[in-house]
Amino acid sequence: MIKPSINSASTQRGVGLLEVLIALLVLAIGVLGFAGLQMTALSKSNDANHRAAAVLIAQDAIERIELNLSQREVYLDEDNWGDGAGLLGEAPDDECIGGETVCEPAELAEWDQNQLAWQAANQLPGGRILASDCEFNTRFTCVIVSWDEQDPDDCMDGSGIELGKDSRCVVLEVAR
């Protein structure tokens, strides 16, 4: 029987092909994992930007409603807000600000709603806005801004704000 010798010429030297393939497989899995993390971060970053824009629009709406209290019922009429269709592009006329015309409170309320709907449609993909009495507590006014074609009515349910994982809306409440 021949005993293998450590100094034998048949001893392997260097890295074998199998080790290289395993290292490449581990590296590929790591790169795919990192790419997945980057895609998730990008998606969450877009969502955060949309939510920040929606909060600013909703805050603007609340301030406009509070400044024109005599027309609160006009602002809270859901039929006055429209569906956001056809609002992309040029902003509504600025007839109620900075011009020679002084708008009456009812005209200002209509102008505010047009401005806010235009902002939602142009700053958010498929953006819409709605102000109404909160369904779950009529002592509050709810301003709802939604995007990605979500209907603002779907942001609320009978017990409060819809907090689903795929919810694409912001709801701000203000006490009367």
The model scores a pTM over 0.85: no
Residue 135: the pLDDT is 76
- pLDDT tens per residue, range 53-85: 999 999 999 999 999 999 999 999 888 887 766
Provide the percentage of residues in the chain whose pLDDT is more than 90: 41
Distance, in Å, from the CA atom of 122 to the CA atom of 147, rounded to the nearest integer, reads 11
Q: Where are the beta strands (DSSP E) in the chain?
A: 128-133, 140-146, 156-157, 160-161, 169-175
Residue 1: the pLDDT is 60
* DSSP strand pairing (128-133 vs 140-146): antiparallel
